[in-house]
A = this chain, B = another copy of it.
């Protein structure tokens, strides 16, 4: 089987997603760490060989590099139980992966980053500070949409854990770090516990 190398920053939940999927699949891989706070993903060498977009995670498959966390999830999940069997179900998983990157991560993960790694909201540039109220509202809307979706179902798509759950778990279970209270969302909280109770689950430091 082709060798896998995960180019990552271990504390990033976008990187944790991939490690969580790999744990469920039971596939071995090598880890290479880059400190994003020191600009290690913006060096000329990183941009030329790993990812021209200057971001982690990147999943290296043999000599090929695959940026974008959710593309890596898909690559790993194909042919496993982490994707549904039918064509519509697979596309529906992608629907949640795209939604996560457009409506969830830029709000919940970004506010969390500014609040916990970036020195707090008051330390951000005026341009960033101006976006905070909109990001707070959009993040709340995202959590509510997830809670509503989970009202009548155990998993985001189909009847078992998929990479849609894994992608959404990554930043939802630490949403409090971004200033989001999960208390109002009981279906969401039950789902977080369900994901964490699955055989094969690992925490971010696991």
Contacts and interface: CB of A to CB of B under 8 A. Distances in A.
B103 A106 contact: no
Interface residues of A, number: 37
Contacts of A90: 74, 78
B99 A102 contact: no
Interface string A124-153: 001100110110000000000100110000
A116 interface: no
A102 B101 contact: yes
A127 B136 CA distance: 13
B52 A66 contact: no
B98 A71 contact: yes
A78 B97 CA distance: 17
Interface of A: 52-53, 61, 64, 66-72, 74-75, 78, 87-88, 90-92, 94-95, 97-99, 101-103, 106, 126-127, 130-131, 133-134, 145, 148-149
21 contacts: A66-B91, A67-B95, A67-B99, A68-B98, A70-B94, A71-B94, A71-B97, A71-B98, A72-B91, A75-B87, A75-B88, A75-B94, A78-B90, A97-B98, A98-B98, A98-B101, A101-B101, A102-B106, A106-B106, A127-B131, A127-B133
